[in-house]
Chain A
Amino acid sequence: GESVGLHLPTLSVQEGDNSIINCAYSNSASDYFIWYKQESGKGPQFIIDIRSNMDKRQGQRVTVLLNKTVKHLSLQIAATQPGDSAVYFCAENRGLTGGGNKLTFGTGTQLKVEL
């Protein structure tokens, strides 16, 4: 019979273009978000984070925007390079007993950079 699998949303961009990856969340009480990059066969790698008291935060070639009204955040990558090809996850950070933090990850978006 036919097998049904899960397919990650995919974003294909040309090298040098800007990329925008979107993420929606449901809990209006969420106050801290992190973007991770995961390359094939590797663990997630921290990119940038943002707290709910900010609307925008910039890093090197990356910008995260947070819209608390519609519970949406986005990751913008400027001048996308082949090395940016990976799966990108947004994660909500929640406090745990004793001060630790639980990350709840979204589904992820596969970014493909075309030469």
Chain B
Amino acid sequence: DTGVSQDPRHKITKRGQNVTFRCDPISEHNRLYWYRQTLGQGPEFLTYFQNEAQLEKSRLLSDRFSAERPKGSFSTLEIQRTEQGDSAMYLCASSLGSGTGETQYFGPGTRLLVL
């Protein structure tokens, strides 16, 4: 399968713990996005990378959240001192950007439950 992959698929953690999620984009896709989706809602944009550069961050991305894409390939999203409100599905998408309007391909997501 050459689609976007995410790991882990599910994560249960206790409030206050740190968690890290990984996203592997489609090979050679230069753009990578993170979204968050809560139950019954559409995904909400969190942040975006072009190659290894993080070019945009949403106000939803508090100081407890950090994302990296060190070599311009896979990306990690870390949440420090998790809170119950962080419980959501975290989706990664990638695209081959060559201007505006490229198609974003989504991974299966990591479902986080904070107890």
Contacts and interface: CB of A to CB of B under 8 A. Distances in A.
A57 to B, nearest CB: 13
Nearest to B31: A100
B40 A46 contact: no
A44 B101 contact: no
A32 B101 CA distance: 8
A9 to B, nearest CB: 11
Contact of B97 (A34, A42, A99): A99
A101 B40 contact: no
A98 B39 CA distance: 31
B28 to A, nearest CB: 16
Contact of A107 (B31, B39, B42): B42
A26 interface: no
B106 A32 contact: no
Given A103-B45, A107-B40, 8 more contacts: A32-B101, A42-B108, A43-B107, A44-B43, A49-B101, A99-B50, A103-B104, A108-B42
Contacts of B105: 46
B42 A6 contact: no
A96 B56 contact: yes
A102 B91 contact: no
8 contacts: A32-B101, A44-B43, A46-B103, A49-B103, A93-B100, A100-B95, A100-B97, A101-B104
